Chain A
Amino acid sequence: MSPLAGGRLQPAAAPVAPEKEVTIYIGGVHVSPGPAVIKTLLGSCISVCLFDPIRRVGGMNHFMLPRGAGSSGADADATRFGVHAMDCLIGDMMKLGADRRRLVAKFFGGAHVLNMKESAAAVPQQNIAFIREFLKGEGFPILAEDVGGYHPRHVRFYSHTARAMVKRVDGPHARARLLSQEDHRSAQVPSFGDVTLFDQ
């Protein structure tokens, strides 16, 4: 539009800095101190996007519970690693000034990309059940969710507005990439943190 459109002098629009784009993968966490678009590709994994509307700080993680969730004896350990993924995201946001009492959540993923029938014992359903229970237990309001189904998802999260865009994708390329990532990751034995005792 011309600056003289409408017969009146219009101020020139201020140049808008391009938003930084960051892609995260399984096990990743990103919290941005400035405007950013955080992107990820999800299959059976879950991504949680948290946002503090006062400080306008947002972040995203991408995790899957280790294989074994839902089988006897393995639930507690699997849950522990899901809690850790959330703890890292929340902690990183607090370091940028967010207050956990104001955090709101959106979450995505948990697709059955293997085209197997959905069941409560399957990894995607375990991931979905875990995050619902966690967010409810911690009292984070859920603004939006898009979970389940059979298609991978591309998620774009705008860290300074909490806007999230989800695109369901398919095709052999995306599916093969996801299956390779997720199968490798779920078979890994997660490690616990270390212990340091100080001399007093």
Chain B
Amino acid sequence: MPSTILIVDDSRTVRTMVRQALEADHHQVIEATDGVAALAALDMGPADLVITDVNMPEMDGLKLVRALRDRPGYRFTPILVLTTESGDEIKQRGREAGATGWLVKPFNPDQLRKTVEHVSRRRQP
């Protein structure tokens, strides 16, 4: 089912690649360059799913995940972390922050789409 997906990454190139992958499944994609911009974007309108990088200026991805989990309406929203970081320790920090899943770049667009579909289906209010 098409959703509104917020992609948060400081690289315009990466945002474009993610957008292209998700728009193929007719999702509506909105973009933000870091955590602060992401929270501002969500003030303008809700998202059904968030995909965020980790290393970004202003507010990094893990702080964004924590901020979102503190927001009414985002406690159960799927949040996927899409990053070059692959260490177990940082993945565990992502899990503790409240991330739903962790995808290591470079990403396979088909796998990204399947993961988005999977976590969207299992969302529980």
Same assembly: yes
Task: Give the number of A-B contacts (CB < 8 Å).
Answer: 82
C-beta contact mask, B29-56 vs A, less than 8 Å → 1, else 0? Answer: 0000000000000000000000000111
B83: A residues at CB distance < 8 A = 91
Which residue of the partner chain, among B12, B99, B102, contacts A137 with CB atoms under 8 Å? B12
Which B residues lie within 8 Å of A180 (CB)? none
Contact A198 B13 (CB under 8 A): no
CB–CB B57/A99 < 8 A: yes
**A181 to B84 Cα, complex, angstroms:** 24
- Do A192 and B100 contact each other (CB < 8 Å), given the known contacts A91-B84, A100-B10, A138-B11? no
The answer to whether A192 touches B107 (Cβ under 8 A) is: yes
Complex Cα distance, B108 from A84, in Å, reads 12
Residues of A within 8 A of B11 (CB): 83, 86-87, 90, 138
A190 within 8 Å of B (CB atoms): yes
Mark B57-96 against chain A: 1 for CB-CB distance below 8 A, else 0: 1000000000000000000000000011110000100110
The residues of B with any CB-CB pair to A shorter than 8 Å are 10-14, 17, 54-57, 83-86, 91, 94-95, 99-109, 111, 115, 118-119, 124
Q: Show the binding face of A for B, using Cβ within 8 Å.
A: 76, 79-81, 83-84, 86-88, 90-91, 94-95, 99-101, 134, 137-139, 190, 192-198, 200
Additional A-B contacts beyond A81-B106, A83-B106, A100-B57 (11; CB < 8 A): A86-B13, A87-B11, A90-B55, A91-B85, A94-B55, A193-B107, A194-B86, A195-B104, A196-B91, A200-B100, A200-B124
